[in-house]
Amino acid sequence: MPNLPEIDTQFLLDFLTKLLNTPSPTGLAEPAIALTEQTLEAFPALKLSRTRKGALLATWPGERDDCPRALTAHADTLGAMVKEIKSNGRLKLSQIGGYAWNNIEGEGCTVYTRFGRPLRGSILLTKASAHVYGPEINDTKRSADTLEVRLDARTFTEKETLDLGISVGDFVAFDPRVEINAGFVRSRHLDDKACVAALVAAVKALADAGLKPARTTSLLISNYEEVGHGAAAGIPADVEELLVVDMAAVGEGQASDEFHASLCVKDSGGPYHHGLSDRLRTLAEKHAIPYKVDIYPYYRSDGEAFWSAGGDIAVASSAPV
C-alpha cells in the first residue's frame, strides 16, 4: 500500500485551538461552523454548502463518482441555557446535552444576551463557601437546583439581572480552557472539535499531496449532535457509506485508550454495519494505524441519528482516541 499523506500537525493544532476557542453550544454553533467553512475555503476542489438547519456540507469530487462516501463530525458542544433568573439575581441553568452537573462546577462561563455584550460569570454551588456551610458542601447532590451562575456584575435581585440584558433562553457557554502541553491537547470541548480538526487536516493532507479521494466524499459538520439529531438530515441522498468520527468512551473495562484510534462496533443504538467496520479494521492494519475495537455502553452517535431518520446506507463509528 502507498504511504498515507503526511498530516500537517501544526495546521491541525492551530485550527483546533481556534475552533476550541470559538464557543458553540448546540443551538448557537454558527460561529464554529463558519470558522470551519472559512478554513475549508482554502481548498477550492471542495464544494461547500449549508443545510437549512445550518450544518456545513463539503463535497469533494473523487477519482470515481459511483458509490459516494461521507464522514461526519459535529461542531456543537455541551452547554446550557438560562432557565430562570433567581430572586438573588443569579441564574438557574437548563442543560444542553447530557453531562454530570459536577463536571461544570467552578467553571467560568459566558452568557450570550440577546442585545449587547456577552456577560461573564462563574458556575458555583448555591452553598459554595466551605467557611459558611462546612460539611454540607460535600453532601450536596449537584443538580440544576444546587448550581447557579454568579455573574461578573453587581446584581442582587432579579430586576438588576434583567437590567443587564439577560433573559430566559440566553445561551451559556462553558470555558474551553485550551492547553497544548508536551504533545497533549487538553480542553473541555475536544468532543467533537478534535474530530472536526482531524477531518479538515485530512483534507489538507490529501490536497498538499496533490491527491483527491478515490470516491466522491462529503464531510457533514453537524450542529445538533449533542441533542441527538445532528446528522438526521444533511447526508447527500446518493451516499452509500457513512463514517461517524466522534469521541471514544474510555474507562474501566473499555478497550479504548488515549493512545489508539478506536472503532466502535456497537453502542446504545446497537451494532454498526459489520461489513464497513470490518473494512476499516483491514485498512487500519494495512496502514499500521494503532487501533482498538470497542463497545460504548452509554453512547449514541450521529450515525444512529441518521439511521433513525430513515438513512439506508452502511454506517460505522470511529474515534481518534
Q: Of these, 191, 241, 267, 294, which contacts Zn ion (CB under 5 A)? A: 191
CB of 246 to Zn ion, least distance (A): 4
What angle (nearest 5°) sits at the alpha carbon of residue 311, between those of residues 307 and 317? 50
CB of 302 to Zn ion, least distance (A): 8
Stretch that binds Zn ion, among 50-58, 184-192, 204-212, 286-294 (CB under 5 A): 184-192
CB of 225 to Zn ion, least distance (A): 6
Q: Is residue 267 near Zn ion by the rule CB under 5 A? A: no
144 vs 321, beta carbon nearer Zn ion:
321
CB of 301 to Zn ion, least distance (A): 8
Q: Between residue 198 and residue 257, which ones bind Zn ion under the rule CB under 5 A?
A: 246
In angstroms, the CA 93 to CA 99 distance is 13
37 vs 76, beta carbon nearer Zn ion:
76
Stretch that binds Zn ion, among 95-103, 124-132, 185-193, 305-313 (CB under 5 A): 185-193
Stretch that binds Zn ion, among 14-22, 94-102, 192-200, 231-239 (CB under 5 A): 192-200
119 vs 248, beta carbon nearer Zn ion:
248
Strands 119-125 and 108-112: antiparallel
What secondary structure does DSSP assign to 256-310, as a single string?
Answer: --TTSEEEEEEETTEE--HHHHHHHHHHHHHTT--EEEEE-SS---HHHHHHHTT
Stretch that binds Zn ion, among 151-159, 165-173, 183-191, 262-270 (CB under 5 A): 183-191
Q: Which three three-digit cell numbers place residue 35? A: 470558522
CB of 293 to Zn ion, least distance (A): 19
In angstroms, the CA 91 to CA 120 distance is 12
Q: Between residue 36 and residue 75, which ones bind Zn ion under the rule CB under 5 A?
A: none
In angstroms, the CA 103 to CA 197 distance is 24
Pick from 301, 257, 262, 259: which is nearest to 281 by CA? 262
Which of 225, 226, 241, 304 is labelled catalytic?
225
Which run of H or E residues covers position 33? helix 30-40
Rounded CA Rg of the chain: 21
Active site residue 225: yes
CB of 191 to Zn ion, least distance (A): 4
Which run of H or E residues covers position 244? strand 241-245
111 to 140: interface string for Zn ion, x by CB under 5 A: ------------------------------
Q: In the bound complex, which residue of the shown chain has the CB atom lying closest to Zn ion?
A: 192
Q: Of these, 192, 267, 294, 304, which contacts Zn ion (CB under 5 A)? A: 192
Number of residues that bind Zn ion (CB under 5 A): 3
In angstroms, the CA 321 to CA 193 distance is 13
What secondary structure does DSSP assign to 187-223, as a single string?
Answer: -TTHHHHHHHHHHHHHHHHHHHTT---SEEEEEEEES
Residues identified as active-site = 225
Give the residues lining the site for Zn ion (CB under 5 A).
191-192, 246
